[in-house]
Amino acid sequence: MDADRLAMIGALVQQQNQNLLRLQQAVDRKRRERRRRDRVVWVRQWILRRPEHGLYEKLMVELRNEDPRAFQHFMRMPPAMFDELVQRLTPRLTKQDTNYRASLEPGLKVAITLRHLASGKTYRNMQYAWRVPHNTISVVVREVVEAIIEEYTDELLFCPTTEQGWRDLADQWYQRWNFPHTVGAIDGKHVACKAPRNSGSEFYNYKDFHSVILFAMVDADYKFTYIDVSGNGSSSDAQIYNESDLHRVLDQNSIHGFPQPDPLPNDNQDVPYLSYHRG
């Protein structure tokens, strides 16, 4: 009798859970339908007035014509460099207009992305001054960053593969910074991010925010020769370096063309080449 009663109670509980699930699904469906009905304006009027009041259409034009130094501070590059960047990225960023709205011009996309990277402001914060919806900005930033990577990687991010190439890097460091036998400077940079789901404190750093770590090596002119963005914010500099491909190939002495130890200037004792860490 007790077993039958327990089975009956279990069946009733299961039926109740199913009823609650169906009720929740119906409520969610009604809520979505209500949101669709309420959305009678596809583009808000203040966004449509971007040509008259947007930062790109007004302020940046004024800065370009009246104060190029202020333009450089705002965009982190002079007008000529900005124009070159837009010109080279335009084929990758140009989209066709639709029946609902005109596509954003490439220059606006580049300006929004550069300002986001320079200021770190959120998309919701930026949408009002630029008069571009925050969800559109989130797509634009990713699109422009990917276009920059595709356009410039082979030209600007390279690592020597010959002994002479490495020695040229070392000569640049010695001539410009008086660091002999140095082929690069390495350091890490915390890049703020949203905490990935179920990551706990894995990406929470000592500066009290969530981040991924950009670990990089640069030459004497601050140009990247190696980049690794696989580290999580809780990792230390030593841990990031020890887990990097750079450490592996240096430890195994398997870098193509890496020079063998030789004497420092005005000395006769062999010294290995190294990377300088900014402490």
Is residue 234 within 8 Å of 202, Cβ to Cβ?
yes
Backbone angles phi, psi at 160, to 5 degrees: -60, 150
What whole-number distance in Å separates Cα of residue 234 and Cα of residue 124?
A: 27
250: nearest Cα among 269, 231, 268, 277:
277
The domain segmentation of the chain, as residue ranges, is 45-154, 163-277
d(CA 250, CA 6): 67
DSSP letters spanning 48-88: HTHHHH-IIIIIHHHHHHH-HHHHHHHHSS-HHHHHHHHHH
DSSP-derived 3-state class of residue 257: coil
From first to last of its 279 residues, the chain has per-residue pLDDT tens of: 556 666 666 677 677 777 778 888 888 888 877 766 555 555 788 888 898 999 999 999 999 999 999 999 999 999 999 999 999 999 999 987 776 667 899 999 999 999 999 998 999 999 999 999 999 999 999 999 999 999 998 888 878 889 999 999 999 999 999 999 899 999 999 988 888 888 888 999 999 999 999 999 999 998 888 888 888 999 988 888 888 888 888 888 888 888 888 888 888 888 888 876 665
Q: Note if the pTM is more than 0.85.
A: no
Q: In angstroms, rounded to a whole number, what is the distance separating the alpha carbons of residues 272 and 260?
A: 7
